[in-house]
Amino acid sequence: MRIEIATLFPEMCERVADESIIGRARRAGKLEIACINIRDYSDDRFHRVDDTPYGGGMGMVIEAEPLARCCEDAARRNQKKPHIIYLSPKGRVFTQQKAIELSRKEYLLLVCGHYEGVDERFIEELVDEELSIGDYVLTGGELAALVVTDAVGRLCEGVLSDAECYTEESHYNGLLEYPQYTRPPEWRGRGVPEVLLSGHHANIAGWRRVQSLRITERRRPDLYERVELTRQDRKLLEK
Ligand code: ADE
């Protein structure tokens, strides 16, 4: 998969995307990530890409033309039309389900806004979807684009090792993950649930399922509402 991030702060994105698992996947050729400077598509001699909003108000708005040129050049360079995502607090909320859907695409172009946003006509003309990473306002789309890059990138073939597998983690099956423990068996007076030391795989799986269901019910009633409990689940929860 190829992910390009169009931003006014390419060094910031480059640094983050070069670390940890995503950085390792890039070096191993499992993921291609490129950060593009929107200013490179300005025709202003000071590389300015923003202007004051029509109708008045605070802040600056990024102009449609440099953004459009940046996206069109990306498609030309790669000889492929990217799936263009604009990151903004007005977008649909990004979820694990959306990450799975995007991980099946070949080429994503994530466009980061700044200041008071971007000219709406750019969104109408070129953007396939607008995504938000949550109900709060960031100073720009960069952190959101990096969140999407991380969540989508790790789902791509060959990025995670078997040991880092995602099939049991939070949100994979609509539930939050059960608690994990490692050595020592007692730490500051706190033990480890007996069942985890028993080596009894079926009991361990049952305990984990119950923990997942209970923690989801308590912390995320909105998710729990959508869980379809099996007969087995009901039996486990009654115990
Ligand atoms: N830009 C500013 N706030 C944002 C958010 N919550 N999600 C995505 N992009 C943003």
| Domains in the chain: boundaries | 2-153, 167-238
Q: Is the pLDDT of residue 142 over 90?
A: yes
Strand-pairing partners, residue 187, are 190
What's the average model confidence in pLDDT over 116-127?
Answer: 96
3-state secondary structure of 11: helix
Query: Ligand 1, residues 94, 132, 142, 147: which to mutate, most atoms within 8 A of Cβ?
Result: 132
Query: Number of C-alpha atoms within 13 angstroms, CB side, residue 27?
Result: 8
Q: Is the pLDDT of residue 239 over 90?
A: no
CATH of domain 167-238: 1.10.1270.20
**Mean pLDDT, the chain, whole residue set:** 96
Contact 5, 149 (CB under 8 A): yes
* Residue located nearest, by CA, to atom 9 of ligand 1: 88
Give the tokens for residue 198: 């028993």
* 2-153 topology per CATH: Alpha/beta knot (3.40.1280)
What's the average model confidence in pLDDT over 173-188?
Answer: 96
pTM, entire model: 0.94
What's the average model confidence in pLDDT over 178-184?
Answer: 97
Contact 51, 61 (CB under 8 A): yes
Q: Say which DSSP state 195 is in.
A: G
Q: Is the pLDDT of residue 170 over 90?
A: no
> 137 among the known binding-site residues?
yes
pLDDT tens digits, 107-121: 999 999 987 899 999
What is the torsion angle, in degrees rounded to the nearest 10, for the CA atoms of residue 152, residue 154, residue 155 and residue 159?
140
Peptide bond connecting 66 to the previous residue in cis, omega within 30 degrees of 0? no
pLDDT tens digits, 6-36: 999 999 999 999 999 999 999 999 999 999 9
Q: Which atom of ligand 1 is nearest to the CA of 131?
A: 8
Per-residue model confidence (pLDDT) at position 116: 85
- 89 membership: H or E segment, kind and range: strand 83-93
Q: How many beta carbons lie within 10 A of that of residue 39, not counting itself?
A: 16
Query: How close is the Cα of 20 to the center of ligand 1, in Å?
Result: 23
Per-residue model confidence (pLDDT) at position 206: 98
Per-residue model confidence (pLDDT) at position 180: 96
